[in-house]
Amino acid sequence: MGFTTTEMIATVAVPAAEKRATFVARPGAILACICAATFVLYLGTAWFGFVLDDVYQVLDTAAIHSWGYFFGYFTSATFATPYYRPLLLAWFRINDALFGANAAGWHLCSVTLHVAVTALVYALARRLGGTTTVALIAALIFGVHPIHIQSAAWISDACDPLSAIFLLAAFLAWVHGEQRSSTTWKAAAAAAYVLALLTKEGAVALPALIVAYAAIYTDGNWKDKARRAISSALPFAVITAAYLYVHEELTRSVVGNQMNLSFTTALLTVPSLVMFYLKKLFVPIGLSGFYDNPYIRTASFGDFFLPLIVLAVVAGAVWLWQRRAKESRLIAFATCWFVLTLAPALDVRKLPHDGAAHDRYLYLASMGFSILIALGLEQMLASTAPANRERVTAAAAIALAVVLVALNLPQQVYWANDYLLYQRGVAIAPGNDRARNNLGRVLAERGDFRGAETLFVDILSRNPDSALAHYNLGYTLYREGRYAEAEPHLVRATAGEPSNPFMHLYLGLTAMREGKLDIAEREVGQAVRMRPGHLGFHLALSYVLESKGDLRGALQETRAELAHAPGNAAIRERAEQLATRLGTKPATAAAPSRIR
């Protein structure tokens, strides 16, 4: 029982013949070039802005702009989302402290994270027994593959590369500890795993990865393999259970069925969803932040059985390859890595409506894919004459990278601003109502109210109960000053999605404009209670209270807003004016209280 000497040497030592090869004589230098090329590939994102969730998750969340909230990151759900990601908030806080509202710095830090993961993919491939050539090509494919545009170019998705860094560090440290029977390295692996979990939920795949590795790389009969797998994964399973308990207690979202989908629908959807992801990996075109709904509700031939047959053929081909190749263990584990890291994103019941398919869900899984492609490329060129093999392999890898870069660059542009992103989303996924809602919202903010209304009315003609469409139409009518028309849409929006604070906010502001001040105070107050750390909410309530003649309450809310934005001169001036009207001494902003 235990890892074989051959496998241990293969993961650490470089064969003598390989050392003499010029292509891999300086793997560190080549890896540095790959990382530099990856950074340059995404350098243009420095000119991109804040898009999609960045505005309310980063710019408008007071907790990101002050160290006073730091410990609160660990005691509550992420303030702008239903998740528990304290280290992501810490990452945002660091970026905000360094760059403020300058998007260029945020983007370059996100790109740096992706570059770091690229280097770790090389280390992963080597640790699994891949040759230096395979590891370098895998890192190259991973670094420049267009499927990672979303994670590298979107500020709010820093959680994927950041979590991947911790997850890879945990896995590599665990393998190192197993090979050397080092308790210290295993403890380091456990610590890194905790950090990965505190960054994003997808890291829960690590115990399964450890089971797969122990079973594949352990000699002996199935009992020996099972014993090693269980004993190795048990500490990480305990950590996972503790994490899931804390996550559920703080967010109440782990076991939630956001779409009220049946288990049958979720199961029927899996084959077509996996096929969708494989197509995007092999032919990365038509990438977008939005895709049409993938839900399969009946077991038809085209939607269920055909994808299932294709996947069975692919699985059979990989199995035959694994049986015949000398790198059988590497093929088996890279395949397991792909399946196990993608699995958490395949239960569409846990994913939001119009968000069951995203490129970012492939971030971890694409590591296994990259290793398999790199290994396949090396084996295809194995018959080349030894004297030319290095140059041919290098040329083939560079040619593949050039193709991927050529596909990557034009598809990056769509992440430059919200208008381009949502316009692309509507073009790629005309049936995705979220993309159409978001595009309409951008049109409204640009003053194109007629274009925005057309989109929202079209959505409601197909889905009359869409709370988001009612909200956006109500918001657009509010912006136009058509308050009486806006109110019924905002009422339906809050009824359909009562946990959305923005719907309560604009219903309250609309009521204020109509002179319905009691309703205004109730609704805006509800928005403040739901999201007390969101910039602008306390200020809105202060105007409502001022309209009711409650100057003392208006001053209190203005000071609460000033506590979140102490550098805002306009808010400070308003507080001073209210204090003067009350005949009280203007107070300085209080220290922000932690959000609960």
Mean pLDDT taken over the chain: 88
Provide the total of helices (H) and of strands (E) in the chain, helices listed first. Answer: 27, 2
Count CA within 13 A, CB hemisphere, residue 293. Answer: 16
> Is the sign of the CA dihedral 96, 99, 102, 108 positive or negative?
negative
The more confident residue out of 3 and 357 is: 357
Mean pLDDT of 554-564: 90
Using DSSP's 3-state secondary structure scheme, residue 61 falls into strand
Crossing angle of helices 86-99 and 103-127, in 10° steps, is 130
Which residues are CB-contacts of 2 (< 8 A; sequence separation ≥ 6)?
218, 219, 220, 228
Nearest residue to 24 via CA among 142, 112, 141, 122 = 122
Please state the separation of Cα 17 from the chain's center in Å: 42
In Å, what is the CA distance from 194 to each residue of 73, 79, 240, 242, 413? 15, 20, 9, 10, 35
Contacts of 567 (CB under 8 A, 6+ apart): none
Helix (H) or strand (E) holding 151: helix 149-153
481-502: average pLDDT: 92
Please tell me the distance from the alpha carbon of residue 96 to that of residue 88, in angstroms, as a whole number. Answer: 12
Q: Which tokens go with 178? A: 């197993």
Has residue 317 got a pLDDT over 90? yes
Per-residue pLDDT band for 583 (boundaries 50, 70, 90) equals confident
User: Can you read off the two tokens belonging to residue 27?
Assistant: 């793997």
What confidence category does residue 1 fall into, taking pLDDT thresholds of 50, 70 and 90?
Answer: very low
The structure tokens listed for 196 are 């990965």
Quick one: pLDDT at residue 592?
Answer: 38
Provide the β-strand partners of residue 3.
218
Yes or no: say if 564 and 556 are a contact pair by the CB < 8 Å rule. no
Beta-carbon contacts of residue 342 (< 8 Å; ≥ 6 apart): 274, 277, 361, 362, 364, 365
